[in-house]
Amino acid sequence: MVVAAGVNLLFQKVCSTNNPTAIMEHKFNYNWTLKDANFSKDKGVVFSCFACGGGSTMGYKLAGYDVIGCNEIDPRVMSLYEQNHHPRYAFLEPIQTFKDRTAFPDALYNLDILDGSPPCSAFSIAGSREEAWGVEKKFREGQATQILDTLFFDFIELAHKLQPKVVIAENVKGLLQGDAKKYVQRIYAEFDAAGYYCQHWLLDGSNMGVPQRRERVFFVCLRKDLIDFVPVQYNLFDVLPRLTLDFHEPPITCEDAGIELGDPITTPCYAEEYDRLKAGLPKKYLQCCLYPKTVVHPTLIAGYRAKASPMPDWGKQWLSTSDICKISSFPQDYDFGTQKPEYVCGMSVPPLMIAQIATQVYEQWLTRINQVK
């Protein structure tokens, strides 16, 4: 069953674990196809930066927005984005040069939402963190060399130029830990200087209809001149636009999601580690883990078959492409081209996380703003 995009319908799914007759309700369906989706495009206009394969783009589309274009640095994932999403405006260049353009298409000066997911490996708890800060590197082969931890501020500079009503930025939860908190303080300061009220939330996809435990930080910012049109909240010193992002949808386990598995795990090091873990022996050299059917899938990382791979306890097999799409809430008919599904999905925001947030932004903010404007 596919939920019509842009319509806040609930779909029902029979829980197959503890109670076969239990009905769980979710706003959006994680198991869907592009060919069957009906994108209404009537909730607002969005432009996406650091677009990758379009995870956030599909979330906005599911929520009923019109995503008119993207900015991306990697030609391979840009090709992927174009063949799946057909953007009206596609800018293949680093955001450092994109933000410095002297002019943009008129439509980009009239955005409801500017979206972005600045590359986050310098802050990820799965990465090198502090050791990588301020270091020039290639985020992936084929991309330009750049300092990753300043890209967020380039994105804010672009927001300052385009002045969309709302800015939504996603990043890893490591941004809220340790010395990285200083970056959050600067993010707030620069959004303030750009003319925005900034707030952030740490959200877990497993509470939002995604069959995956994936915690991400979302910054949601409202242009300051629009605060008179939305509900507000007060603290000791400030007034802020009120936005409630409180999701408590029932978790979807691997069994609930119908994970069926694909190719056998035959690579010697993984096969050996699997056997050791299955026998209750300590890990030898890989940071792998076994997970049972009855839990929500752990975070899918871009290097899925890297040394930190989770492996299913109920079969010595990797996830199939269909499984990867399910746990990432990607459409089953997404065309991955020559790219590995685990890379694209692991690098992307799960569409349903964005669909949930974008729906609330529309219902709590944009409907009120657009009634007055």
Helices 75-85 and 55-62, axial angle in degrees (round to 10): 20
What tokens appear for 248 in the block? 């408590």
User: How far apart are the two ends of the chain, measured CA to CA in Å?
Assistant: 37
Q: How many CB atoms lie within 10 A of CB 116?
A: 25
CB-CB neighbours of 168 under 10 Å: 24
Burial string for 340-356 (b: 16+ CB within 10 Å, else e) reads: ebbbbbbbbbbbbbbbb
Contacts of 141 (CB under 8 A, 6+ apart): none
Tell me the β-bridge partners of 241.
Answer: 232
- Residue 120 is among the residues annotated as catalytic for this protein: yes
φ, ψ for residue 362 (rounded to 5)?
Answer: -65, -50
What's 364's DSSP letter? Answer: I
CA atoms of 338 and 241, how far apart (whole Å)? 44
- For 155, the 3-state DSSP assignment is helix
- Give the active site residue among 70, 120, 221, 345: 120
Catalytic residues: 120
